[in-house]
Amino acid sequence: MVLQMPDLDSLPSLFPDVREAAAPPGRGKHGYYRKTNGWIVTGATTASNRSGYEYKGFIFLARYGEFANGQAFGAPKEQDARGVPWNPFMEPWRLIFQKGGAGEFPIDQIVAMGWHLRPPYREVKFPQLAGVNITDFPCPE
């Protein structure tokens, strides 16, 4: 089976055009954590939630910032690293990738999410995949 690389122009951009948006009023923030298995996840960063995550062995990745999680509908109320309106509910990884965090993701998470075949954004490169051969076995179902 021959896998074809995606057309990079069809991927969304990490740096869309800047539009004005207001930040949501005083709700809890979310951020990025490294789980004990190395996977990167998002989670609440309020004091009680962060304490619970850290008790479970998660590591808060403060350098990638915090954000309001957003909602499944309506206009985006959060802003990304460039000040562009952003809905973290729909695009949870945009901020970490904009701030250079592609190297944080373990190879097994990259493969599980299919990012080795189709990166989430055209500017994203995973340095940990350099020189790694990944064999994909298609599922018959």
Tell me the per-residue pLDDT of 49-61, one tens digit each, with 9 for 90 and over: 999 999 999 999 9
* DSSP H or E stretch at residue 40: strand 40-44
Rg (alpha carbons) of the chain, rounded to whole number: 17
* pLDDT average, residue stretch 65-72: 86
For the chain, the structural domain boundaries read: 28-104
Tokens 């069809």 belong to which residue? 10
* pLDDT average, residue stretch 33-42: 97
User: Is 48 in a helix, a strand, or coil?
Assistant: helix
HEC profile of 86-136: ECCCCCCCHHHHHCCHHHHCCHHHHHHCCCCCCCCCCCCCCHHHCCCCCCC
Cα separation, 96 vs 105, whole angstroms? 10
pTM over 0.85: no
pLDDT at residue 126 in the model = 96
Cα separation, 27 vs 119, whole angstroms? 31
SS3 content of the chain, % helix, strand, coil (to 5): 25, 10, 65
User: Is 30 in a helix, a strand, or coil?
Assistant: strand
The strand pairing partners of 86, in sequence order, are 78
Question: Could you report the per-residue pLDDT of 102-113, keeping only the tens digit for each?
Answer: 999 999 999 999
The length of the chain in residues reads 141
